[in-house]
Amino acid sequence: MTLFYGTELTSRLMLGTAQYPSPEILSDAVRRAGAGVVTVSLRREAAGSRAGQAFWALIRGLDVPVLPNTAGCHTVREAVTTAQMAREVFGTDWIKLEVIGESDTLQPDMFALVEAARILTEDGFKVFPYMTEDLVGAERLLRAGCEVLMPWGAPIGSGKGLNNLFGLRALRAHFPDVPMVVDAGIGVPSHAAQAMELGYDAVLINTAVAKAGNPAEMARAFAMAVEAGRMAYIADPMEERDMAVPSTPVIGQAVL
């Protein structure tokens, strides 16, 4: 199993905790997924309020490692402040760093992301940056102290799957030893399997499970897809061909 900042997870499936119909359905989905990590937004937690404390008690009861995030932040200052507050609330130096640069696509602002990552790593955080599949940006994030990268598959909540296969393949090939998680845009289990077949170390799913007709069953489906995709990657899949190749050799057949 890949190590994330020295920690070995129990599963390559990470699960978000927003948008579920009820706390009970959320709990059931996390258990059915066998999730290795759950992500939690500080704004969702609403620190200090009664509702927030109840939600945090629910998350603690799941007994799954927590990855707080800076969802909804648009500036370096806002992201850094949110991360510092999250460390106090959740008692972890792990942070999924989001700095949004464009409102329609929720595309990360790579310039601000690198700066925020530098500030947070210097402050002792273990940063999981939500990024595009940009090779130069990835290099800058690693130089800033990040040891994990989280490229998007497609815009958050879009369900479009892996929009830029070339970019994701190039990123994986360019940094073969860096733990990487495909985050955002995955809509169905086949998308998750595809990400794992590319050699990614994990996937993060939220909307596709939370908004499913049966979140618990969808969570289980994603868990199975992640496992299948990883097994396929390890098994070294055949390469695509432009021409047909007969699976049964013609040598030795009778000539009529």
Asked if the model's pLDDT at residue 155 lies above 60, the reply is yes
Q: What is the DSSP string of the chain?
A: --EETTEE-S-SEEEE-SS-S-HHHHHHHHHHHT-SEEEEEHHHHTTTSHHHHHHHHHHHHTT--EEEE-TT--SHHHHHHHHHHHHHHH--SEEEE--EEETTTTEE-HHHHHHHHHHHHHTT-EEEEEE-S-HHHHHHHHHTT-S-BEEBSSSTT-----S-HHHHHHHHHHSTTS-BEEES---SHHHHHHHHHTT-SEEEESHHHHTSSSHHHHHHHHHHHHHHHHHHHHT-PPPP-SS---SS--TTPPP-
206 assigned to a ligand binding site: yes
- For residue 57, what pLDDT is reported? 83
Asked if the model's pLDDT at residue 47 lies above 60, the reply is no
- For residue 59, what pLDDT is reported? 85
Cβ-proximal residues to 68 (8 Å cutoff; 6+ apart), any chain = 39, 40, 41, 42, 83, 86, 87, 89, 90, 92, 94, 95, 96
For Cα atoms 105, 200, 197, give the angle at the middle one, nearest 5 degrees: 105
207 assigned to a ligand binding site: yes
| Identity of the residue numbered 61 | G
Written as six digits, the tokens of 115 are 């700066």
Q: Which residues pair with 95 in a beta bridge?
A: 127
Query: Residue 211 catalytic?
Result: no
Residue 3 lies in a domain: no
- For residue 244, what pLDDT is reported? 87
199 assigned to a ligand binding site: no
How many domains in the chain? 1
Asked if the model's pLDDT at residue 152 lies above 90, the reply is yes
Asked if the model's pLDDT at residue 45 lies above 60, the reply is no
Asked if the model's pLDDT at residue 212 lies above 60, the reply is yes
Written as six digits, the tokens of 142 are 């690693």
* pLDDT tens digits, 68-103: 999 999 999 999 999 999 999 888 999 999 999 998
- For residue 43, what pLDDT is reported? 65
* pLDDT tens digits, 133-147: 999 999 999 999 999
51: pLDDT confidence band, cut at 50, 70 and 90?
low
Residue 250 lies in a domain: no
- Work out the average pLDDT over 11-40: 93
CA–CA gap between residue 219 and residue 212 (Å, rounded): 9
| Structural domain for 142, as ranges | 8-235
- Which of 13-22, 47-56, 104-113, 225-234 comes out lowest in average pLDDT? 47-56
56: pLDDT confidence band, cut at 50, 70 and 90?
confident
CATH number at residue 174: 3.20.20.70
Q: Which residues pair with 183 in a beta bridge?
A: 152, 204
Q: Which of 96, 126, 160, 211 is catalytic?
A: 96
- For residue 166, what pLDDT is reported? 96
- For residue 68, what pLDDT is reported? 95
- For residue 27, what pLDDT is reported? 94
Residue 25 lies in a domain: yes
